[in-house]
Structure 1
C-alpha cells in the first residue's frame, strides 16, 4: 500500500510537470478538446482541484471536467466535441500557453454552451496583451445548444497565454457557468491593401478564423470596432451584442471561393469596412448575396447596402437550398474615408423547426473608384 501510494504521488507530480508545455501553429491546441483527462489525484468528483490537473492547461477557480451525458438537474449538459469538456464556474478560468510569432495576428476559436438561465458572459484575453475582450453568449444561434466563437489578437511576445475567464457573480451556485470545448488557433495573414481592381481588403472573406473540420455550424465573429484585431481581417462587426457567422464551402453553399459570411442577427449587426477614397470619385461596389443551403428560406431576404454616397435595398428570394445573385451599388465618394455597410433587414430561422438562426450570405465584395474624368470606363 505504501509503495502504491508513493507511485501514485510520483505519477501526479510527473503529470503536473508536463502540463506547462507550450503549443502553437494552425489547428486544435494541444488537448484543445479536453479529451486527455485530468489526474484523479487532483479531482474531487467533477471539480478540478489541481491547477495543472488537465494536461496542457492551467485552471483557476471552480472548474469542472464534464463528460458527455452528464446531468444538471433534469438537463443533459451538451459537450460540443468528443466526450469531454470543461465547465467554468463563478470567477474561474482556463489558460493555455502558446508559442507564436511576435507581431503576427492570430484567431482563436472555441465552442461554448450555456448551462444557466442568467445572461452569461465570457472574457477572453492574451497575457501579455491588450485588456480582456467580452464575448456575449446570451443568444444561442444553433439548435445544438452550443456555438463556436472566434477572437483575434496581435502577438506582442513569442510566448503568450490565452485565457478564457468566466466572472459572473450574479448567482448563488458557484458551479453555474458555460461549458468550453474544441479550442483551436489560426494564423491570420494580413490581406494586401486595396488595388485598382478592388480597394477592399479581404473582400472574398477567404482569410478568417479556424473552422474545425467536420463542424457544420460555422464560427461566430463577435462585435469589434476599428481598434480591435479582427478574426475577419479588414472587416469590423458593428453591434452591441450580436454576431455574424463565418461559413465554409465544406458545410454550406458559398457563392465564391471557400469562405463567406452569413448575416444571422438581422438589424442588430452590420458588416463594415472603411477604405481611403478621393472625394468626388465615381465608385462601384459589386457583391454576391445568397443563401447557405441551410434551409433558410425567405421570399425575399432583404439586405441593406450602404455608403455615405448612397444606399440600396437588395432582395434575394431564397428557397433555402443554395444559390446566389450578383448585384452592385453605384455612388459618388463624399469623403477621404468611405465606410461600406451590409446588414440584413429581417430576422430569419431555418425551416426545419429547430430554431436555428440564419440569414443572407454576403461574399465576393469589390469596390472600384475612379476620378470623374475617367468615370465612363467604370460604368460601362
Structure 2
C-alpha cells in the first residue's frame, strides 16, 4: 500500500510541473500587429515596422498562416540569419526549465533542411527536421534550458543555422507551439530503487495536440539532459501513455537506432564496490506498429548482457533482469539498441524501456530473467520444507 501511494504521489508531483504561462504568445496565435486583414498569402515577411507580440526578431523572419501545424495554423519561419527571442523570469526556488517545441520542415523542393539553434543563458543545441522520424509533417523536440530560480531572467533564443552552402535550396525551419516545464532539482526517489527517475516520469512536457511523443537528441550530460538523471546517446522518443503503450506510469522511453546505436545511460546511488545488485527492467514495444527483432544491450557496472524481444508492434512488455557487481560507488547503467526497425510508413521505431530498478544488495546467487520454471522451482522448494 505504501509503495502504491508513493507512485501515485510521484505522478501527481510530476504532472503538476507543466506550465505554459512563462512565455507570451508561445504558439504565435497572436499575429503581428500590422498584419493585413485580408491576407491571402501563406506567409508574410516581417520588417522593421512589424511587431510580433511577446517576441523580438532579427534577420529574415516570416509569419506563417497556412500549414498543417500542431495548433490552429500559425507559426514562425526563420530564414537566412533569422532569429527570434524572448526573456522570461524564473519563478520560485531553483528549478530545471525544459523546453518542448514543434519543428516543421520549411518546404518540399529543397536539398537540405537548415538547423534550428535553441539556446538559453548557458545552454545550446541545434535541431534539424528528419524525414524518417514521424508520420506527420512536424516533430516535437526538447531542450533543457538549465537550472534557474529567484527571479532570474532567462533569455530564450531561436535562430536558423545553415547546413548547406547553397542557401537557395535550403528548407528553413518553421517553429510552433513552445511549452516550458519546470522540474525540481531534487527528484522524489522511489523506495527500494537505487536509481533516480527509473520509471522516466520526469522528462519534457508533451505538446497539447501531439500524438508523436517528444524527441530527445544526444545529450552526454546527466545534468543537461531533458530526461532527468539520464544521458542520451543518439535519439530516443519520450512517449506518453495517452498515445502509446507504456508498461508502467505515464511515460517511457522508445530507443530509435538509425545509422548508429542509440540509448540511455545513468548511474546508481549509494552502491558499495564489490557488492552484488539485481537490475530489473521492462522491455517492450510502443504499440506504434513497430515489428521486428529487438536487441538491447544492457551494461550494469562491469556486467554486460544482450536481451532480445520479438515485437509484433501491438503493445507488448516483458520483464527482464540481471545481477551485477558494483565496480564503484556509482555504477553505470546503460541501455543501447542495436536494431534498426521501421514501421510500414518508413518511420523509425524501436524498443521501449521502462520500470528500471536497481534493487538493494543481494546475498545470494546470480539471478536471471524471471521465468515460470524458476517460480515452479521456488514453489517445490517451499513445499519440501
Q: TM-score, normalised by structure 1?
A: 0.81
Q: CA separation in 1, counterparts of 2:86 and 2:18? A: 13
- Equivalent pair of 1:89/1:177 in contact (CA under 8 Å): yes
Equivalent residue in structure 2 for 1:120, among 114, 117, 128: 114
Name the residue aligned to 2:289.
295
Q: Report SS of the residue matched to 2:346.
A: coil
- Structure 2 residue runs without a partner (length 5+): 1-16, 368-377, 379-385
CA distances 1:28-62 after superposition (whole Å, capped 9, x unpaired): 74321111111226999711114862111111110
Shift of 1:159: 2.4
Name the residue aligned to 1:107.
98
Sort the Cα spacing of 1:80 and 1:171 in 2 relative to 1 into closer, same or farther, 3 A. Answer: farther
Q: CA separation in 2, counterparts of 1:177 and 1:55? A: 22
CA distances 1:329-375 after superposition (whole Å, capped 9, x unpaired): 2111122331111111211112xx322111111001011242xxx51
Name the residue aligned to 1:354.
345
Structure 1 residue 147 corresponds to structure 2 residue 139: yes
Name the residue aligned to 1:188.
183
- Equivalent pair of 2:114/2:171 in contact (CA under 8 Å): no
- Equivalent pair of 2:94/2:184 in contact (CA under 8 Å): no
Shift of 1:118: 2.0
Shift of 1:271: 0.4
CA distances 1:203-229 after superposition (whole Å, capped 9, x unpaired): 001111110233110001121122642
Name the residue aligned to 2:62.
64
Output aligned runs, 1:1-380, within 5 Å: 26-27=19-20, 29-40=23-34, 46-50=44-48, 53-69=51-67, 78-101=68-91, 103-115=94-106, 116-126=110-120, 129-138=121-130, 140-152=132-144, 153-155=146-148, 158-168=152-162, 170-173=165-168, 176-192=171-187, 197-226=192-221, 228-238=223-233, 242-266=234-258, 267-276=260-269, 277-298=271-292, 300-350=293-343, 353-370=344-361, 375-376=363-364
- Equivalent pair of 1:154/1:229 in contact (CA under 8 Å): no
- Equivalent pair of 1:188/1:231 in contact (CA under 8 Å): no
Q: CA separation in 2, counterparts of 1:90 and 1:195? A: 48
Shift of 1:284: 1.1
CA distances 1:227-277 after superposition (whole Å, capped 9, x unpaired): 642211110002xxx321001011111000011011122543220002243
Q: TM-score, normalised by structure 2?
A: 0.80
Aligned pair count reads 338
Sort the Cα spacing of 1:52 and 1:337 in 2 relative to 1 into closer, same or farther, 3 A. Answer: farther
Q: Report SS of the residue matched to 2:359.
A: strand
- Equivalent pair of 1:51/1:59 in contact (CA under 8 Å): no
- Equivalent pair of 1:263/1:358 in contact (CA under 8 Å): yes
Q: Report SS of the residue matched to 1:355.
A: coil
Shift of 1:154: 1.4
Q: CA separation in 1, counterparts of 2:256 and 2:114? A: 20
Sort the Cα spacing of 1:217 and 1:191 in 2 relative to 1 into closer, same or farther, 3 A. Answer: farther
> Quick check: 353-362 or 94-103, which moved more?
94-103
- Structure 1 residue runs without a partner (length 5+): 1-23, 70-77
- Equivalent pair of 1:105/1:187 in contact (CA under 8 Å): yes
- Equivalent pair of 2:18/2:205 in contact (CA under 8 Å): no
